[in-house]
Amino acid sequence: MSAILAIAIAELKRFVADKGNIFFVFILPLLLVFVIGSQFGGGPSSTVTVSGADGELRSELVAELEDSGLEVEFAEHDEMLAQVARGRSSAGIDLSEQATAAYAAGDPTDITLISGSDSSSAAVAEQIRVAVTSLDLRAHQLDALQAAGAGADDASAALDALPADGGPQLVVTDVDEIAQEFQGLGQFDLGASSQLLLFVFLTSLAGASTLISARREGVLARTLAAPVNALHVVLGQVLGRWAIAVFQGAYIMLASWLLFGVDWGNLALSLLILAAVALVAAGASMVLGSALDSDGAAVGAGVGIGLVLAAIGGGMVPLEIFSDSMRKIAHITPHAWGYDAFAEVQRHGGGLVDILPMLGVLAAMAVVLLVLGSWLLRRSLARAL
């Protein structure tokens, strides 16, 4: 066992010490997580940006909006328009000085609502209309109480004392299946899990060239001169490939959590998914590194195969927007099973039982690839490059 561990540790050290990996392994994944999260992240899907003069109208309207569960931000008029246009706010509200003055005087007030184009904008706009209607209703109630002889403070206190759930309430339910699927997902969460799947396989497949180098430079042959047999060498290579894949995935998990606040859900389950995905990637790397004899061909094939599998399996575009037939095709890849498992843990609070089917499929894929890769590697040890 110590010989197998020693071989695996040596493989991991070679991988980390390779300066050519710095950008590809450590920088590029985080850059892509940032870019994807900035462009397509869910973020403030229920955010309203308010512009305009401060005053009684703004404070009371904001209180109503926050009571209805909306997140409120403030900005200048042009910035508010930009936030809505870029999808960073579901709606914008413009409160002009005339509107603020009219509201303070008890006159009819015009409020400008700018609705966004994301899937939740219609629901948010409806919540804003209800909030404005509540303000209007309260103004009429105050007028009626004061007309009946109550003082302004007493009328306001009487309305405040009414139970909050005493009247009709609007409950907005988003029936869009895709919106429901991504509800509660952080801005960078989806991109982080997708890039983890993409880069674990890319790194492993492209790293198959090191196995070819080890065969060509006689590293494996010299290893066999030590008191170990071919099985030890094969198992050491398997463990080394797996350690490299886990290292890449764990780095993305840790760095994305520290830099972007990515929520990985149950950490133990997410690490278990990573371990299963890494085992499949290790097997694929073994097959590629044992079947080919050229470093350049291994790198080219590894990158090409890794990108194609990621594109099919949800590593670049969310599986939820695939057609039904394309989703079935996607599940010939390990990426799709890993994607489903991460989605269950990150978005739905799933437990071990919920992800067991995905882990079972990944384990089966890993067994097939590792057995094939080990057989090919043992054959390659018996022939010259």
Local confidence band at 54 (pLDDT 50, 70, 90 cut-offs): confident
| pTM of the model as a whole | 0.68
For strands 71-74 and 112-115, give the pairing: unpaired
In the structure, what pLDDT confidence band is assigned to residue 44 with cuts at 50, 70 and 90? very low
Give the DSSP H/E element, type plus range, for residue 188.
Answer: none
Rg (CA), the chain: 29
* Mean pLDDT value across residues 68-84: 84
For residue 183, the model assigns a pLDDT of 63
Q: What is the pLDDT of residue 336?
A: 94
Q: Which residue has the higher pLDDT, 261 or 227?
A: 261
**Arithmetic mean of pLDDT, 255-268:** 90
- Residue 157's pLDDT is 76
What pLDDT score was predicted for residue 25?
82
Mean pLDDT to the nearest integer, 29-40: 80
Grade residue 294 by pLDDT with cuts at 50, 70 and 90: confident
**pLDDT of 302-336, one tens digit each?**
889 989 999 999 888 888 888 889 999 999 999 99
Question: What does the pLDDT average to over 184-195?
Answer: 80
Q: Is 43 left (phi over 0), alpha (psi -120 to 50) or beta?
A: left
Q: CB of 201 within 8 A of CB of 284?
A: yes
What b/e sequence results for 289-309 when a residue is b if at least 16 CB atoms lie within 10 Å of its CB, and e otherwise? bbbbeebeebbebbeebbbeb
Mean pLDDT, the chain, integer:
81
Tell me which amino acid residue 275 is.
A
Give 212-246 pLDDT, tens digit per residue.
877 777 777 777 676 667 677 777 778 888 898 89
Residue 145 pLDDT > 50: yes
Which among 337, 330, 86 is positioned nearest to 187, based on CA atoms? Answer: 86
Burial of 73 (C-beta count, 10 Å sphere; 0-12/13-18/19+): middle
